């Protein structure tokens, strides 16, 4: 398969470092030069939306993915590209659906903020906290402040509302406000039941719920019928039965790191997935396809929770047109999903085509 056939390229050369450097013919006069292509290759590429690719590569042009496939195919499609060779496994970037911090490998997150002027740190959705204890407090102070902040931002699509109020009238007004402005909603099931959220008009495709407690069959069914993504956050004891039921019944699952069991520790969605897998194995269970489902929840599931899983610039998977977000892990083996869940080291994180520096050592 070849991409962007309108590009013309000429002779190639190889530098002494072993990184392939090829020279591209200059653009026609009057045309804007396209961004250079960089090919990231590795022994294994895990696109998430497709099967694993042995000796694979991801071609990146600017902040977008230009191609994904076998390394030889991508080098042939983009003969002027510079190649960056990685050891281990390239994986679509992790998406934290209820973030308590930024861990290596995470390329987008749902973060709750008190001030929209604060820099988000990563792509994703910044959720403005709504915490009014009563309708009177909401009407007198917080409602106007939230509306003013929303009208002043430059990127409304990257903003949502985190409904942390316990007042049902405020909750209902927040749902109306979200529909009016086209905002996404994040709600904690530790504060409201799915039935109460549904009565207030909160549940739906624009909402995802953070869940750090067991759900009964009726609650799981209601969330499934409303097509509301469930972001599982860590809690004790381990939610093995609940996780398996959610998967088996067809709920869309994401993973978050904001659960109370972490006590402020910064982990990645992949670590949450690994902890669930270990607990399942300790119980002697071997559900078919669980490893893949958990990795998908840590990537594409989070993207679905944020409403960023479709269209140009989508996240959570690697395919032409997607945002060039991915992580590289020191993982190998015959079973790539299981290898990822064994907590390998993160070798690098690329966000929008740019390699981000690793977190500073504590």
Map out the domains of the chain as residue ranges: 9-92+316-356, 94-305
DSSP category for residue 134:
S
Query: Which of 341, 211, 212 has its CA nearest to residue 271?
Result: 341
Number of Cα atoms under 13 Å in the Cβ half of residue 17? 7
For residue 211, give both structure tokens. 């869940």
Return the pLDDT at 291: 96
For residue 40, give both structure tokens. 């990231």
Q: How many angstroms separate the CA atoms of 223 and 220, rounded? A: 5
Q: Is 133 helix (H, G, I), strand (E, B) or coil?
A: coil
CB count within 10 Å of CB 280 equals 20
Return the pLDDT at 326: 98
Q: Does the 9-92+316-356 domain belong in CATH 3.30.70.2340?
A: no
For residue 139, give both structure tokens. 């009407």
How large is the angle between the packed helices 217-225 and 240-249, nearest 10 degrees? Answer: 40
- C-alpha distance from residue 59 to each of 45, 68, 281, 309 (Å): 12, 6, 37, 20
DSSP category for residue 261:
G
CB count within 10 Å of CB 166 equals 14
Number of Cα atoms under 13 Å in the Cβ half of residue 339? 19
Return the pLDDT at 119: 62
Decide which of 3.20.20.140, 3.90.1150.10, 2.40.30.170, 3.40.190.10 is the CATH code for 94-305.
Answer: 3.20.20.140
Q: Give one word for 316, left, alpha or beta, with left for phi > 0 and alpha for psi -120 to 50.
A: left
Cβ atoms 22, 80 nearer than 8 A? yes
Could you list the mean pLDDT of each consecutive 10-residue stretch along the chain, which spans 362 residues?
Answer: 32 32 46 84 97 97 97 96 96 94 91 71 87 92 86 71 93 93 92 95 96 93 97 75 91 87 74 91 90 97 96 96 97 93 94 78 41
CB count within 10 Å of CB 175 equals 22
For residue 315, give both structure tokens. 């996240």
Q: Work out whether strand 346-351 and strand 354-356 pair parallel, antiparallel, or are unpaired.
A: antiparallel
Q: How many angstroms separate the CA atoms of 191 and 270, rounded? A: 26
Q: Output the DSSP codes for 153-165.
A: -S-GGGEEEEE--
Q: How many angstroms separate the CA atoms of 315 and 249, rounded? A: 25
Full-model pTM: 0.86
- C-alpha distance from residue 157 to each of 67, 82, 86, 153, 306 (Å): 26, 34, 34, 10, 10
Q: How many angstroms separate the CA atoms of 140 and 149, rounded? A: 16
Return the pLDDT at 20: 35
């Amino acid at each position: 398969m070849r991409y962007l056939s309108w590009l013309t390229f000429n002779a190639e050369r190889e530098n002494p470092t072993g990184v392939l450097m090829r020279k591209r013919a200059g653009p026609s006069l009057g045309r804007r030069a396209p961004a250079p292509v960089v090919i990231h290759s590795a022994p294994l590429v895990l696109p998430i939306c497709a099967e694993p690719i042995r000796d694979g590569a991801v071609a990146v042009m600017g902040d977008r993915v230009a191609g994904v496939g076998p390394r030889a195919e991508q080098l042939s499609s983009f003969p002027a590209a510079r190649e960056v060779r990685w050891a281990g496994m390239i994986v679509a970037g992790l998406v934290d659906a209820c973030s308590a911090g930024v861990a290596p490998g995470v390329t987008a997150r749902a973060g709750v903020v008190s001030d929209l002027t604060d820099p988000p740190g990563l792509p994703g959705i910044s959720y403005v906290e709504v915490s009014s204890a009563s309708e009177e407090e909401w009407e007198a102070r917080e409602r106007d402040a939230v509306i003013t902040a929303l009208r002043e931002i430059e990127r409304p699509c990257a903003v949502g509302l985190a409904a942390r109020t316990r007042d049902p009238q405020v909750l209902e007004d927040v749902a109306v406000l979200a529909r009016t402005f086209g905002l996404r909603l994040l709600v904690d099931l530790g504060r409201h039941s799915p039935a109460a959220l549904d009565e207030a008009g909160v549940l739906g495709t624009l909402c995802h719920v953070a869940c750090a407690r067991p759900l009964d069959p009726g609650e799981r069914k209601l969330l499934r019928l409303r097509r509301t993504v469930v972001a599982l956050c860590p809690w004790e004891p381990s939610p093995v039965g609940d996780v398996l039921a959610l998967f088996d019944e067809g709920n869309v699952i994401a993973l978050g790191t904001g659960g109370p069991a972490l006590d402020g520790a910064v982990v990645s969605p992949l670590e949450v997935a690994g902890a669930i897998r270990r607990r399942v194995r300790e119980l002697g269970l071997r559900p078919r396809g669980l490893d893949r489902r958990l990795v998908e929840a840590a990537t594409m599931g989070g993207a679905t929770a944020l409403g960023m899983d479709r269209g140009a610039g989508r996240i959570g998977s690697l395919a032409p047109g997607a945002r060039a977000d991915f992580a590289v892990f020191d993982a190998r083996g015959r079973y790539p999903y299981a290898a990822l869940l064994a907590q390998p080291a993160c070798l690098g994180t690329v966000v929008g085509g740019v390699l981000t520096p690793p977190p500073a050592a504590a």
